[in-house]
Amino acid sequence: MNPRINQQSKKRIAVIPGDGIGKEVIPQALQVMQAAGTAVEFTEFDWGADRYLGDGTTVPPDGFAMLGRDFDAILVGAFGDPRVKTNIHAKEILLGMRFKMDLYANVRPVRLLDAALCPLKDVEPKDVDFVVVRENTEGLYTDAGGVFKQDTADEIATQEDINTRKGVERIVRYAFEYCRQNQKLDGSPRGKVLMCDKSNAMTHAGGLWQRVFKEVSAEYSQVTAQHMYVDALCMQMVRDPRQFDVIVTNNMFGDIITDLAAALQGGLGMAASGNIHPGRTSMFEPVHGSAPPIAGKNIPNPLGAILTGAMMLRHLGFTREPDKIEAAVLEAVRQKKTTQDIGGTLGTREAGEWVAQAARG
């Protein structure tokens, strides 16, 4: 999907661990990629709360242009620090990358590796194997809006929901292409794209999504097009996750439903994601945040970050190495060589080391 990338040379990866548990899980992802024998070269950047609190820098001048120019992909941990109440650095770095590098497709696979990880009863791994394709550059996240008469009794706050035909069309098309080009874990073909919105209440934005979805789906006669309101989708996701294949939705709903979907996989510690613009330098990050309550204690689950590394490698054209990494993660889960959140007894470093050893073989 990324023609610019040449499979022969060593891939250059920019690594931004960020804040909190990002600093603990990313080193494990790097260690595992190296153990799997991947031809990559890592360059680490200190963007995050510590640097911001030290010198006021969020993104250095020319930072995004440099990432796009000098790197094949970017691996990110998480941003968010209780000392930075405004969250300005996270907004400028994380949302900055997504928006300014135009990484319009936030791809969040939802895969259950072992039945023991799912909070639902009578659910097997093959029952949870879908992907959420989240619009990543507009919607309620553009910062359009404002506050008037702040701190008075007459205060007004607006937050505009921006939906462009171009933005909606390209993400819907991405979802159909993803469906056409990707298989399920058991090797069977994908065949359904479901658009999730709230067009019964938010008629202007919803109307545009509905019209575009109808137009684009007509071009893909071999793919079944479906629709669900977001509230009903949340209910169905816990009632019967088997029915989902590819879900396409806006920025806000995509954020919310992927935390819910993470729970089906064993929690936020297991979920991977990519922020993709085909043909351009794309960014990969676990779905979880900086989790301040468990940061710095060797507690966080590194598997989401490790699986994110594998996802990045696949995007870059590697196959053998991500296969090895994913097999090693699966084995760790099966043998409970994991952190406590998913039933093991290991610390972050020990869990990462176990996967690295298994990926080495």
Binding site for ligand NAD (CB under 6 A): 21, 25, 78-80, 87, 90, 94, 268-269, 285, 288-294, 300-301, 304, 341
What is the rounded distance in angstroms from the CA atom of residue 114 to the CA atom of residue 69?
40
Q: Look up 229 and say whether it is catalytic.
A: no
Q: Residue 96 binds what, of Mn ion, ligand NAD, ligand IPM, none (CB under 5 to 8 Å, by partner type)?
A: none
Which one of 11, 19, 52, 198 is the catalytic residue? 198
Q: Look up 141 and say whether it is catalytic.
A: yes
Q: Which range, of 117-125, 181-189, 218-226, 252-260, touches Mn ion by CB under 5 A? A: 252-260
* Residues 6 or more apart whose Cβ sits within 8 Å of residue 21: 77, 78, 288, 290, 291, 294, 295, 300, 348
| Helices 320-334, 303-315: inter-axial angle, 10-degree rounding | 160
Binding mask 202-241 for Mn ion (x = CB under 5 A): ----------------------------------------
Contact 285/75 with Cβ under 8 angstroms? yes
Nearer to ligand NAD, 281 or 348 (CB): 348
Q: Look up 198 and say whether it is catalytic.
A: yes
Kindly state whether residue 255 participates in binding Mn ion, applying the rule CB under 5 A. yes
Q: What is the DSSP string of 65-88?
A: HHHHHH-SEEEEEE---TT-TT-H
| Helices 320-334, 22-35: inter-axial angle, 10-degree rounding | 120
Which one of 52, 141, 174, 178 is the catalytic residue? 141
Q: Look up 323 and say whether it is catalytic.
A: no
- Per CB under 6 A, contacts with ligand IPM among 30-49 are none
- Identified binder of ligand IPM from the candidate list 14, 84, 90, 264, rule CB under 6 A: 90
Nearer to ligand NAD, 87 or 142 (CB): 87
* Shortest distance, position 82 Cβ to ligand NAD, whole Å: 8
Q: DSSP class of residue 94?
A: I
* Shortest distance, position 287 Cβ to ligand IPM, whole Å: 6
Report helix, strand or coil for 20: coil
Which one of 231, 240, 297, 336 is the catalytic residue? 231
Give, in order, the Cα–Cα distances in Å from 360 to each of 7, 37, 291, 337.
Answer: 21, 7, 30, 16
Nearer to ligand IPM, 135 or 255 (CB): 255
Q: Residue 329 binds what, of ligand NAD, Mn ion, ligand IPM, none (CB under 5 to 8 Å, by partner type)?
A: none
Contact 359/325 with Cβ under 8 angstroms? yes
Nearer to Mn ion, 138 or 255 (CB): 255
What is the rounded distance in angstroms from the CA atom of residue 265 to the CA atom of residue 262?
5
Report helix, strand or coil for 292: helix
The values of phi and psi at residue 178, to 5°, are: -60, -45
Nearer to ligand IPM, 31 or 58 (CB): 58
Q: Look up 143 and say whether it is catalytic.
A: no
Catalytically annotated residues: 141, 198, 231, 255, 259
